[in-house]
Chain A
Amino acid sequence: MSPRQATLFHRHKDIFIVRLVRFVLLPLFILFAGNAISHNAGTALAGGITRSCDSLIVFEGANVNNYIKQFSGVTDSRSSFDEAGKMLALLVQLDGLYSQIGYGSLGYVYIKTDGDDSPSCSNKQILERIKGERCCSSGKLQDGKAALLLSGHFQRVKDRIYLLTSVEFLRKEMEETVSVPSFAAENTQTSFITQMPRVTVSFTPRKFTRQQLDQVANDYSDIMYVRRKPSLDEQPFKLEPFDVDGFSYYIEEVKTDWIKIRSYGYRLPSGWVKVPHDIGGLGLRELLPELYFMDATAVYLQTRIAGPALSPKRYNRHLKKFESLMKKFAERIQGTGDRRALGFLKSMYAALLLERPGPGLTKKEIKQISTVAAEAADLLPTSSQARSLAALTRFASMSRTDVSSFPVSASTLEKDLLQVLSADPANIYVKSNLEQLWRLRTVKDTSKSNWQNKKLTALRARFLGDAKVRKLIRKQPFLKDKRIQQPVEKKKLKDGI
Chain B
Amino acid sequence: MSALRLITFAFLFIVVSISSASAQSLSGCSGIEGTTGPKVVLDKLEYRNEAGEIQILTSDYELELILELRSRLQNLFPDTQPLPVLCAKRAPKPDGTDFIPSLVKTLNNRNVLLEIWGTIKAGKKNGKQALGANILMMLIPVRYYEGSDSQLDFHILSYPKKEEDDLEAASIEIAFGTEFNVYAAIAHGIKALRNNSYDKAKKYFSDARIQWENALADGSLANTPTNQDLILQYIKNLEQKTITEAAADPNYSGDLVALADMLEDGGP
Report A-chain residues with C-beta under 8 Å of the C-beta of B259. 418, 421-422, 425, 459
Alpha-carbon distance A207/B169, docked complex (angstroms): 11
Question: A275 CB to closest chain B CB, in angstroms?
Answer: 33
CB-CB contacts below 8 Å: A221-243 with B:
none
Residues of chain A lying within 8 A (CB to CB) of residue B53: none
- B67 and A164 form a contact (CB under 8 A): yes
**B207 interface residue per 8 A CB criterion:** yes
Closest 7 A-B residue pairs measured CB to CB?
A423-B206, A202-B74, A205-B67, A382-B207, A202-B71, A200-B78, A337-B71
Give the residue among A334, A426, A431, A452 with the most B Cβ atoms within 10 A.
A426
Question: B210 within 8 Å of A by Cβ?
Answer: yes
Tell me which of A335, A415, A463 contacts B267 (CB under 8 A): A415
What B residues does A103 contact at CB under 8 A?
none
| Shortest Cβ gap from A208 to chain B (Å) | 12
Among A157, A414, A425, which residue has its beta carbon within 8 angstroms of that of B268? A414
Instruction: Flag if A335 contacts B68 (CB, 8 Å).
Output: yes
Out of B202, B258, B261, B268, which one reaches A451, CB within 8 Å?
B268
**Chain A residues proximal to chain B, CB less than 8 Å:** 153, 155, 157, 160, 162, 164, 166, 198, 200-205, 207, 334-337, 340, 381-382, 414-415, 418-419, 421-426, 431, 451-453, 455-456, 458-459, 462-463
Q: Is the CB of B60 within 8 A of A160?
A: yes
Q: Is the CB of B268 within 8 A of A456?
A: yes
Q: Is B63 an interface residue (CB 8 A)?
A: yes
Which B residues touch A425, using CB under 8 A? 199, 202, 254-256, 259
B68 to A205, Cβ gap below 8 A?
yes
Chain B, range 46-91, C-beta contacts under 8 Å to A = 59-60, 63-64, 67-68, 70-72, 74-76, 78
Q: A455 contacts which of B75, B210, B255, B268 (Cβ < 8 Å)?
A: B268
Which one of A205, A418, A424, A426 lies within 8 Å of B71 (CB-CB)?
A: A205
For window 194-218 of chain B, which residues contact chain A by CB distance below 8 Å? 199, 202-203, 206-207, 210-211, 214
B71 touches A204 (CB 8 A): yes
CA distance A377 to B266 in the complex (A): 22
Report chain B residues within 8 Å CB of A155: 63, 67
* Interface membership of chain B positions 174-212, coded 1 if the CB is closer than 8 angstroms to chain A and 0 otherwise: 001000000000000000000000010011001100110
CB distance from B140 to the nearest CB of A (A): 22
Contact: A153 with B70, CB < 8 Å?
yes
B71 and A203 form a contact (CB under 8 A): yes
- Least CB distance from A450 to B in Å reads 9
B3 at the interface (CB under 8 A from A): no
Q: Which residues of B contact A164 (CB under 8 A)?
A: 67, 70-71
**Shortest CB distance A161–B (Å):** 10
Q: Which residues of B contact A459 (CB under 8 A)?
A: 255, 258-259, 262
Additional 15 contacts, C-beta under 8 A, given A425-B199, A426-B199, A462-B255 = A157-B59, A162-B67, A164-B71, A202-B72, A202-B74, A204-B68, A335-B68, A335-B169, A422-B206, A422-B259, A422-B260, A422-B263, A453-B268, A455-B261, A459-B262
> What's the minimum C-beta distance from A72 to chain B, rounded to whole angstroms?
12
A205-B71, A418-B263, A426-B199 are contacts. A381–B214 as well, Cβ < 8 Å? Answer: yes
Of the candidates B78, B173, B202, B255, the one whose C-beta lies within 8 Å of that of A423 is B202
Interface residues on chain B, number (Cβ under 8 Å): 37
What is the bound-complex CA distance between A453 and B199, given in angstroms?
25
- Closest Cβ–Cβ distance, residue A445 to chain B (whole Å): 11
CA distance A421 to B262 in the complex (A): 11
Among candidates A201, A421, A426, A453, residue contacting B75 with C-beta atoms closer than 8 Å: A201
Q: Give A196 to B90 CA distance when docked, in angstroms.
A: 42
Could you mark each residue 112-140 of chain B with 1 if its beta carbon is under 8 Å from any beta carbon of chain A, else 0?
A: 00000000000000000000000000000
Residue of B with least CB distance to A157 = B60
**In the complex with contacts A423-B210, A424-B203, A425-B202, A414-B75 CB distance below 8 A:** no
Which secondary structure dominates chain B's binding surface? helix
Let me know if A455 and B74 touch, CB within 8 A. no
B-chain residues with CB within 8 Å of residue A421 when the two chains form the complex: 255, 259
B67 touches A153 (CB 8 A): yes
User: What chain B residues lie within 8 Å of A202 (beta carbons)?
Assistant: 70-72, 74-75
- A and B contact pairs by CB, cutoff 8 A, 14 listed: A155-B67, A204-B68, A205-B68, A335-B68, A335-B172, A337-B71, A340-B75, A382-B206, A414-B267, A418-B259, A422-B256, A425-B202, A425-B256, A462-B258
B141: min CB distance to chain A, Å: 20
Alpha-carbon gap, A204 to B54, bound state (A): 27
Contacts of B78 in A (CB 8 A): 198, 200
Given A203, A381, A415, which contacts B210 in the complex, CB threshold below 8 Å?
A381
Q: Are A207 and B258 in contact (CB under 8 A)?
A: no
Question: A381 touching B211 by the CB < 8 A rule?
Answer: yes
Cβ–Cβ < 8 Å partners of B60 in chain A: 157, 160, 162
Task: Count chain B CB atoms within 10 A of each CB in A153, A334, A336 and give the residue with the most.
Answer: A336
Q: Is the CB of B207 within 8 A of A423?
A: yes
Contacts of B211 in A (CB 8 A): 381-382
- Chain A residues lying within 8 Å of B67, measured Cβ to Cβ, are 153, 155, 162, 164, 205
B256 cross-chain contacts in A, Cβ below 8 A: 422, 425
- Name the CB-closest residue of A to B264: A455
Q: Please name the residue on chain B nearest to A455 by beta carbon.
A: B262
Cβ–Cβ contact A456 & B262, under 8 A = yes
A334 CB contacts on chain B under 8 angstroms = 169
Least CB distance, A192 to chain B, in whole angstroms: 18
Rounded to whole angstroms, the CA-CA distance of A157 and B210 in the bound complex is 39
- Residues of B near A203 (CB, < 8 A) are 71
CA distance A298 to B259 in the complex (A): 38
Q: In the bound complex, how far is the Cα of B173 from the Cα of A451, in angstroms? A: 46
> Chain A residues with Cβ under 8 A from B74's Cβ?
166, 200, 202
Complex contact B75–A337 (CB within 8 A) = yes
- With the chains together, A204 CA to B71 CA distance in Å? 7
Pick from A337, A381, A424: contact of B72, CB under 8 Å: A337
Known: A381-B210, A382-B211, A426-B199. A162 touches B262 (CB 8 A): no
| Minimal Cβ-Cβ distance residue in A for B266 | A415
| Cα-based distance from A335 to B70 in the complex (angstroms) | 13
A162:B64 contact, CB within 8 angstroms: yes
CB <8 Å contact, A418 and B262: yes
In the bound complex, residues from chain B placing their C-beta under 8 Å from that of A462 are: 255, 258
